Amino acid sequence: MYIPSPTPQPSPNDSQNQASLNRDIGGTASSDSPYAASQPGVVPNQPNNYNTPAGTCKFPWAATNSDNVYPVTPDQSNGGWAMSPNQLCTKGSWCPYACKPGYYAAQWDPSASLYNGQGSMNGGLYCDNNGVLQVPFPNQYFCVKSMNNTSIRNTLGKPVSACQTVYPGNEAMIIPSVAQPGSSVDLNIVPSSYWLGTSSQFYVNLADSDQNQCIWGTPDKPVGNWGPYIFGGGQAKDGNTYISLTPNPLYKEVGFNYNGVYNVKIACTAGSCNFPPTNECKCENGVCSMGSGCTVTLGPGAKAEYVLY
């Protein structure tokens, strides 16, 4: 079985508000990007006007790039890095970056050995003491296609955002995948070779949400980590992929209810999918299969989707 990512906890550096990034993140890199994909291990130097305070490493990608990198709140102090808006990519630190839907960041601290211990924050590139970005795996691309076997299909009339946590990193749910009305979006379900065998975790917002709701929520603001659902998944060493659907306990604990909230079910679209004993995995009106949620096993070559209805 895969190792689930820990439940994230907010840090003192987490801002409650992220500035808007006014572009669609419901797909992959634009085919008309002016930049060719970088060679593995070669940090690009694409012009951008992102925030870069003195003593920090500049985010090296433009908004449109062929590396499938997604800049997170580039006008804030993080300057595009997959960090909280007021965190800096300072000299002598690791700086995670985000990838577009269906891709995972394939660079991290190779010396980390515990998924919940020292080094668990060390994702992305290393900003050395000279302010030069170092690439830990020179032969690896920055963003790599995920398992390509799981998506969200939105049958609703409004968009819905799924917010992936940054891990390794500060575990903030700031990497968006937005399912537009009547459309689908790929989810980044990681392979077994991903960092220390950990999985992907997504906090899923209410309808009429986009990348701007991929932030830390509060007990009176059901967005981000307070959204109604949690999706998760990853490939195990046995070659199978395990994807899960659970109601978010934080959402229920503070008194939010599921009246008027959309329903979710996992549907197999190709190959062999193993469902729980009830032969279904769904949440309707706040009641989920198996009581507290369910997991579906996708055999090699199988595909599934989270259907919002």
pLDDT, one tens digit per residue, over 257-286 is 999 999 999 999 999 999 999 999 999 999
Give pLDDT tens digits for 129-147: 999 999 999 999 999 999 9
Residue that wins the pLDDT comparison between 113 and 147: 147
Question: Which of 65, 58, 73 shows the shortest CA–CA distance to 22?
Answer: 73
* Distance from C-alpha of 304 to C-alpha of 284, rounded to nearest angstrom: 18
Mean pLDDT confidence for 36-44 = 76
pLDDT number for residue 189? 98
- Range list for CATH 2.60.110.10 in the chain: 146-308
Instruction: Check the CA dihedral 255-256-257-259 and report its sign.
Output: positive
* pLDDT score of 65 more than 80: yes
Per-residue confidence at 86, pLDDT binned at 50, 70, 90?
Answer: very high
* pLDDT score of 21 more than 60: no
Mean pLDDT confidence for 18-34 = 36
Residue that wins the pLDDT comparison between 19 and 102: 102
pLDDT number for residue 37? 56
Give pLDDT tens digits for 169-211: 999 999 999 999 999 999 999 999 999 999 999 999 999 999 9
**pLDDT winner (highest mean) among 37-46, 213-222, 237-246:** 237-246
Question: Is the pTM for the entire model greater than 0.85?
Answer: yes
> What phi and psi, each to the nearest 5 degrees, are found at residue 251?
-60, -40
User: Within 10 A of 253 (CB to CB), how many other CB atoms are there?
Assistant: 10
* pLDDT score of 73 more than 70: yes
In the chain, what percentage of residues exceed pLDDT 70?
88
CA trace torsion 19, 21, 24, 30 (10° rounding): -160
Pick the CATH number of 146-308 from 2.40.30.20, 3.30.70.260, 2.60.110.10, 3.40.309.10: 2.60.110.10
